[in-house]
Structures are given as C-alpha cells and as structure tokens.
Chain A
Amino acid sequence: MNVPRQFARVPDTVDVQRLQESTVGIVGLGSVGSQLALQLAQVGVGNFVLVEGKALKLEHTSRHLCGAGYVGRNKAEATAEALSQAIVGLHGKRLKVFPHNITRTKPATRFVVDLLADCDLIVASTDSRDAQRRINRSALRLEVPAIFPGIDADADRAEVFISLGSRASACFECWDGFRAPDAALRAVGALNTDVLAIVHPTARLCIGLLGASTEAAEALRGTRRDPRPRTLHMIRRFDAPREGVFSGGQTYVRLTPDPRPGCPACGGQAPGAPERRTMARAQATNSRAPIRPQSSLPAPRASDFSLPSIEIPHPLNIPVAGIAVVVCVVLIFVSPPFLALFWLVLAAAISYLSGF
C-alpha cells in the first residue's frame, strides 16, 4: 500500500503504514500533550484518543499547539481540530475526544480503562500525580505500554518514563513512589523550547514503542552489561553549554529503574522473583519465547487511589431533576387519566436519566 502523499518525506526507516493503523491515547493536552500529538500525527500516527478536562486559557498559548483563536475551548477538542486542519485525512472516527477530567470520576479505573481500551500506546502528559497513577494502573490492567513525560517545577530537568507491564519492568509507581503525592511535576514558567526538549524524545520513543522504527527503538535497548530495556530517560539542562553549540547544554541519561518491592500498583517483583527467573530462562533458551500474559495481575480498585475522587456531574443537574420529578408526581394526581400517564412516563424518564 502506498504511503499517503503527506508522509512522502518521512524517512524510509519509519513504517508509516504501521503508524497509520496505530492508536495513541493522550491524557492531558497541555503544552506537552498537544505538541506531541502534532509530532506523532506528522509522522503518520493515524488514530488518536484525546482526553482533557480543562479549557485553553490565553496564558497557555505561549507554548500550546493551539493559538488565541481556541481560547475558552476544551483543550482536547481544540487539539483535535488543529490536528484535523494540519493533517489530511485525520478527522472523524480517527480523532476521539473525551473532554473529561479523569481524576473526577468514580470508579476511576473503569472510566480510564474504557477510554483507553483500544489504544496501542498511552501517553500520560498530565501534571496531576493522581491522574498519572490512575493511568499507570489502567495501563497495567489493559496490558498496554504507557509513556510518562514530565518536566520538573524548575524546568531544569525532564524525564520520560516507559511502562512495559509489571512482568517486564518497573512500573511508573515503582519509579515515582519516592515522590510525595502532592509533589509538583510541572514547569509553570518554562519556555516552549524547554517543553519541546521533552516532546521530541518522547515522540521518538513513541514511534519505537509502536514498532514503526528500529532506529527509534534503539534508544530503548539496554547494553550487554545491563541488558534490561531503558525505561527512564532523563534530560538535565545546565546554565551554560558544556559540549558545544549543538548540545544545547543538555545531558541525556538512559537507565532502568528497579522494581519497587511492595509497589501498590504492580507488586514490584524484585529482580530474581520466580516470574522474572522464568522469563529470563525462556529468553536464554528461546529468543522467540512469548512473554507470559498478565491476566493474573490483580485488577486495581478504586480504593487503591489515595486521593479523594469526585463524581463527574451528570448531564442532568440533580436538584433541577428532583424538582421536575416532584412536579410531575403532583401533576399525575391533578390531571385527567390520559395526561397522568404522560406525567408518569416523564417522571420516570427524568429519574432514570438523572440518577435521581
């Protein structure tokens, strides 16, 4: 099948066709998420699930994909529209938009799992620690790879963490568990160049994880000394360039966090645990040995989340629905029989739709 013309200048080393058939879920369409979505769409990713509950403000536009014309609109909807204008053929069912805040739902896990069930890769580009952890547990449950880009509050360090499932590597909470639940992982005052410094490697890692480029996947491979996949990529910025003009004064470190024993999300199997020994032995004897499915992984529960959850408001406002039902009930008794039946049906419908 021919590559669509708009991707004719994507290098041959990238499997555009594979990307066209892939679905990437992005939770958080702020500066990182929105610009990452464009990077991925420009290289050929054909389907997106965009999840974001907040609206674009004027102060966001200095480093957001969407400009002043989108202020006031939901950021996921705005990003979807910008993508559809930028990339030919990227519209309709290829862009699923969910204008929801995933931390305001209960039960949260089912909600996130439902949103992201069809994704081949999940990007958690949100600055909410609660949301990051919910996404991590949902990705473990779905057995879908997930990637977590973040910039620290001073914008002098950025990191990208990759979750490959609890049997294969440490999960996000294995790595992130040392941070306080309310610790900031957000650069309010960052330049867009600092944001792009994390967007670009994240885009490459996404392409590698989607199996579209062995060159991009190379950054995820370990070394002979430590053959484990490199699931943590850290970028440190220094005040002055140290390695010449093109280094930009940055250092890029790739490493592999150890599983955290007792991790609340994955159990944190320590290296050498039975499952790991089994996998290592299988790898040693047969390079094509399948990875054991994680179906035995305990499903996370809503009570696992330490932060309080808030119900998403129902489409029908509860107090208004209650008053309407009471009025309908009164009208049942004062109306002729044929009208009473109508009020009865209306009251039942309002009750059902509002959950009143």
Chain B
Amino acid sequence: MSKAAVAYELIREPKAESSGQEADLRALPDGRIVPLDWREEEPEIDRGSDATWD
C-alpha cells in the first residue's frame, strides 16, 4: 500500500459524532465556497411580453 493510501486509511472514516456547529461546505472548481446541498440555479429565460415563438 502506498504512503498516500496509508494516510487516507487513517482518516477515511467520518467522525463518529459531529459537534453540530460545523457547517458542511463544498469548494467548487471555480474557488467558490458553498453549502453542501447548494445547486447552481438555471438562468431564467426572458421570454418577453411579445414572444411569439412558443
């Protein structure tokens, strides 16, 4: 087993008990920090009042 795998083995199990004070966050590939359950909202389509294409 490689040294990296050994280190991973040491910490791969989650904490048995969480303090509850720690927020679960994610780091997005663009550097933004967001809540774990955050979802990118799809931009609304501005159809306009006189849209005829639908």
Contacts and interface: CB of A to CB of B under 8 A. Distances in A.
B8 A222 contact: no
A234 B8 CA distance: 20
B14 interface: yes
* Interface of A: prevailing SS: loop
Interface string A195-210: 0000000000000111
Contacts of A139: 4
Nearest to B13: A221
A175 interface: yes
Interface stretch (A29-37, A287-295, A303-311): A287-295
- Chain B interface extent, by class: 20 to 34
Contact of A294 (B2, B27, B30): B2
Contacts of B13: 221, 227, 287
A178 B28 CA distance: 9
A257 B27 contact: yes
B7 A291 contact: no
A227 B14 contact: yes
Contacts of B44: none
Contact of B1 (A178, A210, A211, A293): A293
A143 B26 contact: no
Contact of A145 (B3, B31, B33): B3
B2 to A, nearest CB: 3
A149 interface: no
Nearest to A119: B3
Contact of A225 (B6, B29, B36): B36
B5 to A, nearest CB: 4
B18 interface: yes
Nearest to B9: A291
Contacts of A164: 4, 7-8
Contact of B4 (A145, A217, A224, A232): A145
B41 interface: no
Interface in B2-26: 2-15, 18, 22-26
Interface string A220-242: 11111111010010100000000
Contacts of A232: 27
Contacts of A269: none
B8 A258 contact: no
B1 to A, nearest CB: 6
A223 B20 CA distance: 10
25 contacts: A143-B2, A143-B4, A144-B3, A144-B4, A145-B8, A168-B12, A178-B29, A178-B31, A208-B10, A211-B7, A220-B11, A221-B15, A225-B24, A225-B36, A227-B13, A229-B11, A234-B33, A253-B23, A257-B27, A257-B29, A283-B12, A290-B1, A291-B8, A294-B2, A294-B4
Interface of A: 120-121, 139, 142-145, 163-165, 168-169, 174-175, 177-179, 208-211, 217-218, 220-227, 229, 232, 234, 253-258, 260, 283, 287, 290-291, 293-294
Interface of B: 1-15, 18, 22-31, 33, 36
